[in-house]
Structure 1
């Protein structure tokens, strides 16, 4: 008898993380002082556009400081120019990823820490030290030659059979090329954009499913999905199970909530659970005045450095979460807010580092949730069509 393999845990899609973040490089093979200078050069050049971080290890015998000496497990100090957080215990990989979750790039001192990609320094004085770490050189992406080196070490060639194709620069004279390498890598790593139409609400105030209302010649959920196709790699309609089974046309891809009972918040989390490495352009089906111009303006001004790109709503005085680009770094933030008992996407935007835009026409952000609001939207759309038909 062959026993079936027993699986204890549900298989879910994991983000493409390394030890710290999605985009991380260990700089290895040179003196620690040189590694820090290289990291400083890169971070200074890229930090205006990207969230950058540096990770290192100190082997100095430094005694516990502050409240840690009397037994505190954690000490937080809100400095004038920065915040400082000291832990008594070593961090696990999982805690590291939480702390670095908002970073676009992490550079690591590879003499002490590992990362999923490596930049190798060829330094004659550090050859033996680098050779001891040869097993860690699993994904070399760039080689830097110190002033005392002209040839790549044989053991590096062995672990990187494609060594002759790798970008190779002089560490002191090719700084612009080194910076450009990382610029290109981060541009290539820009998350693709998927579209999500929120159409799973019960429309209790309206009395009719808002996703099925016909404002522009077809059901609104299909109209918005078709509109998003021009801006997104994939488009999904967020819906309830019973909608998917009986009411959504087969030509449209659907996502049902795997975080249930949370309204739009659950729909956004469910989208990230489906694909945590893409950004999601989320739009609610109860905004019938949204058009291509508004979407194009949002996407043209997208900032991947921030957690999200959203419009400021004049009606509420806050960001509008239901026509927003949520970057992959929003996923852990949404989960953290949920763990503290909050399920309002607007609250996440208000309390996070986001890129906030002014909408070209404030009226387009109008929600239609009641028959009265429906009548007002109909008049606006009718007037728009009338102006279009004028000779």
Structure 2
């Protein structure tokens, strides 16, 4: 029975969300260096052990500038922020589950991703970590199952383009992060400087 179930679990693809305007950072967050290379490269490398393929969600004009070896997945749902990237991935392969990670999570480790993958529940719409700041799911480090495509489209039709709202109102597997501090995102120059200093003192 376990073998039968495992054979029917949708394969996992990876998606690095790197198509945002980065207005608060005032520079492209995906091109920042925290680990000796662009953050979008680092995030893609973190996803690679768990995913059959890894793509970088980006705007159409960003696709040509990606570092060698990264596969671009230009947004097909425009002006929707992270929701557009997630929906574009699910449209690209609606039969796969997508492990989605934002590019502004420089503290994220393989251990935390392994915990997410090992505790994945394919019978739910998604598997997500609870935000360390509140009881809500964290949508930008989440495994979105194939069934989430229709759910997200329904929310979009109702005028909601927030993936967190979709998670809150859906049947999801909600996990406690093994190291909640790793879910800390970095959005401003001051936060970037602090993160770079912290990671230089305590490299991962």
Do both proteins adopt the same fold according to a TM-score greater than 0.5, normalized to the shorter chain?
Answer: yes
Aligned to 1:311: 129
Q: Distance in 2 between matches of 1:251 and 1:306?
A: 32
Aligned to 1:370: 188
Matched, 1:302 2:92: no
Aligned to 1:203: 22
Q: Distance in 2 between matches of 1:243 and 1:291?
A: 26
The unaligned stretches of length 5 or more in structure 1 are 1-179
Q: Post-superposition shift, 1:315?
A: 1.6
Match of 1:213 among 21, 26, 32: 32
Q: Post-superposition shift, 1:187?
A: 2.4
Q: Post-superposition shift, 1:381?
A: 1.2
Matched position secondary structure for 2:128? strand
Aligned to 2:99: 281
Q: Distance in 2 between matches of 1:288 and 1:316?
A: 21
Larger Rg: 1
Q: Distance in 1 between matches of 2:190 and 2:170?
A: 34
Q: Post-superposition shift, 1:371?
A: 1.1
Matched position secondary structure for 1:238? strand
Aligned to 1:358: 176
Structure scoring higher RCO (CA < 8 A, sep ≥ 6) equals 2
Q: Distance in 2 between matches of 1:213 and 1:375?
A: 11
Matched position secondary structure for 1:293? helix
Q: Post-superposition shift, 1:380?
A: 2.5
Q: Distance in 1 between matches of 2:57 and 2:134?
A: 25
Aligned to 2:12: 193
Describe the superposition over 1:112-131 as per-residue Cα deviations: whole angstroms up to 9, x where unpaired.
xxxxxxxxxxxxxxxxxxxx
Q: Is the 8 A contact 2:132 2:181 kept in 1?
A: no
User: Which portions of structure 1, spanning 4 or more consecutive aligned residues, are displaced by more than 6 angstroms?
Assistant: none
Q: Is the 8 A contact 2:60 2:74 kept in 1?
A: yes
Q: Post-superposition shift, 1:185?
A: 3.5
Aligned to 1:148: none
Aligned to 2:158: 340
Describe the superposition over 1:293-348 as per-residue Cα deviations: whole angstroms up to 9, x where unpaired.
11001101111111111000122431100000000011100001111110100001
Aligned to 2:56: 237
Over 3 Å counting, the alpha-carbon distance change for 1:294 and 1:186 in structure 2 is same
Q: Distance in 2 between matches of 1:316 and 1:371?
A: 24
The unaligned stretches of length 5 or more in structure 2 are none
TM-score, reference length from structure 1: 0.51
Q: Distance in 2 between matches of 1:274 and 1:190?
A: 18
Matched position secondary structure for 1:208? coil
Aligned to 1:382: 200
Q: Post-superposition shift, 1:374?
A: 1.2
Over 3 Å counting, the alpha-carbon distance change for 1:317 and 1:377 in structure 2 is farther
